[in-house]
Chain A
């Protein structure tokens, strides 16, 4: 049965790729699992491949790609699931693509981005060697509702994983607590004085002690609710950091530092020498949409995928530091973006848009976005709405001269559309 699924799956992938329909990424896996719900477990049963899961609200794709780059430069054979295809069917599909026709997996490492809500279900099928947990932010409200229930489900999951090494973000209280009492847990976090802030960003979650529920005390914040935290009630504190800085960060922004540290700490635990890690990060090319740079008609463009208030704030902050002349924001509300756009009111537009920036607004919910911008106090002549995303992109490119960069800040499906418009190819 599995051989049939593999054959069928590989055929579907091949056809989709060659007809430029995108990789058809989740169909093969979907079918395989329907035919045999133990498909994934079966395939890993006899393999020596080390399995690494990366989960969290923001940064999975970037961290996965950094780690993959490091391992490949170190001479290892690695495969991963396609970004965005991070549910069970996406993982199964990546297995089909990367195994032989008889179902053998010949890789040293398999890196899987795992959607934070699916993690408990997936660990029933596979016991990974490593789990990297980056953060928990409010994401698509209509899909998952509550952070507390996700964190609770993770806690139960983690107790069953005795042979897994955990690489955890110490600066995020809920994440750090997952390693509590576990000798196989290692922590990354920041300790850069220049990044410390006493101000809490509005869209902050997780301000309560994961153990006793009381208000947490923060010496300072680095980003959203991440920082140096402690509980004055039960004395739970941020764990000691196993890695708090790295000599080279390939992408700008506070947020990306965490991704780099996560990848570097994992690589170190896998025995990869520092020099190789640095060398690999210098060669690192961002994943599509994640601070990805493109050149179209001689004009420089940079994409900052943003899916929730925390990542949006970070993108706006990072872009604003470059003194942008033209910025396109595209808000869609399809399934991958979240169908409820209330979250845009938790973004701190008031703080991060300068009067020198011209805004191009687009996406399915362009007028809701424009309303938010209006209420952020931005004057009417500074923003223009476009119902058609392609028109918005062309207008922005036209308006940008060769010395400057045109920044595009899209939600997920708008990012895919944007890339298709800019490069002429579908990717997912």
Chain B
């Protein structure tokens, strides 16, 4: 058993200024605090438009959220320039959590309702299609069986785009209640190496502490090249919050 204190964790927060409209900074806060409570020094690197790839390479864990269209365009422009570095980092197995717009952007392309196709980073073998204003957006509380850890995840989804998984890419979870990637195939999100893409807001990490801890452990293991076991923190408040939503969705957790 390795104790986790005296360790540091560099968390790269991609585009905090532009991609932060959805309470997603709660994911950063959760990671920071869960490290702090265990004596792990967490440093958050804010990587805004124009950031240096040297800083990106310093990161042990990457987090990126969603945004409004205009902001996403600016991000796309910037991230395209750094695509190869990001791809190398993801291929290397550096863990990351990519939410909503970020998740879509990691894919091959995004097809808008009018047929216009927006190129993605082509790191995840997925693509997204938006059927347009006339089709209902996929909105609501959602529950999934995680593909990675033995845990049921709870969150809130709100997306117009329908995402479809290609070959060689696993879903992030199996939908128990809610829509997931496209409301058809019961998959939610995607996993590639140690990178997780998902539509779950909430934000996802506070109410799914086991996922937060999984990401921290994974990042530390890769960094320090040995198995890390994190001290268990009190889950009682999280459990009460989870039970309340699970009851509403009529799922067991």
Task: List residues of A whose CB falls within 8 A of some B CB.
Answer: 138, 141-142, 145-148, 202, 205, 207-208, 213, 339-346, 365-368, 370-372, 374-375, 377, 385
Contact = CB atoms under 8 A, between A and B. Distances in A.
Residue among B23, B29, B137, B156 facing the most chain A CB atoms (10 A cut-off) = B23
A345 B237 CA distance: 16
A321 B158 CA distance: 37
A377 to B, nearest CB: 8
Interface of B: 17, 20-26, 29-30, 33, 68-71, 74, 137, 139-141, 156, 158, 201-203, 206-207, 237-238, 240-241, 244
B207 A368 contact: yes
A345 B70 contact: no
B206 A371 contact: yes
A370 B70 contact: no
Contacts of A138: 21
A138 B20 CA distance: 11
Contacts of B68: 146-148
Given A342-B201, A367-B240, A148 B23 contact: no
14 contacts: A208-B70, A340-B156, A340-B158, A342-B23, A343-B22, A345-B23, A345-B24, A345-B203, A365-B244, A366-B244, A368-B241, A371-B207, A374-B237, A377-B33
Contact of B244 (A148, A343, A367): A367
A141 B137 CA distance: 12
Contacts of A371: 206-207, 237-238, 241
- Closest 6 A/B residue pairs (Cβ): A345-B26, A342-B23, A367-B241, A345-B23, A367-B240, A340-B156
Contacts of A145: 137, 158
B240 to A, nearest CB: 4
Nearest to B25: A345
A57 to B, nearest CB: 14
A367 B247 CA distance: 13
Nearest to B201: A342
Contacts of A368: 206-207, 241, 244
A126 B26 CA distance: 42
Contacts of B237: 367, 370-371, 374
Contacts of B22: 141, 342-343
Nearest to B26: A345
A372 B206 contact: yes
A138 B74 CA distance: 20
Contacts of A141: 21-22, 158
Among B29, B140, B141, the most chain A Cβ lie within 10 Å of the Cβ of B29
B206 A148 contact: no
Contacts of B20: 346
B63 to A, nearest CB: 13
A339 B244 CA distance: 14
Nearest to B200: A342
Contact of B206 (A213, A340, A375): A375
B100 to A, nearest CB: 11
Nearest to B238: A371
Contact of A142 (B24, B158, B207, B240): B158
A377 B34 CA distance: 11
Nearest to A200: B17
Given A146-B69, A208-B70, A342 B202 contact: yes
A380 to B, nearest CB: 9
B29 A375 contact: yes
A345 B99 CA distance: 15
Contact of B69 (A142, A148, A207, A372): A148
A368 B202 CA distance: 9
A345 B244 contact: no
Contacts of A346: 20, 23, 25
Contacts of A375: 26, 29-30, 33, 206
B139 A142 contact: yes
A375 B24 CA distance: 14
B78 to A, nearest CB: 13
Contacts of B238: 371
Contact of A342 (B17, B26, B71, B74): B26
A370 B243 CA distance: 14
A344 B201 CA distance: 12
Contacts of B70: 148, 208, 213
Contacts of B201: 340, 342
A148 B70 CA distance: 8
A359 to B, nearest CB: 13
A339 B240 CA distance: 18
A344 B207 contact: no
Contacts of A213: 70, 74
A375 B30 CA distance: 7
Contacts of A146: 68-69
Given A213-B70, A375-B29, A342 B241 contact: no
Contacts of B29: 345, 375
Contacts of B71: 208
A425 B237 CA distance: 34
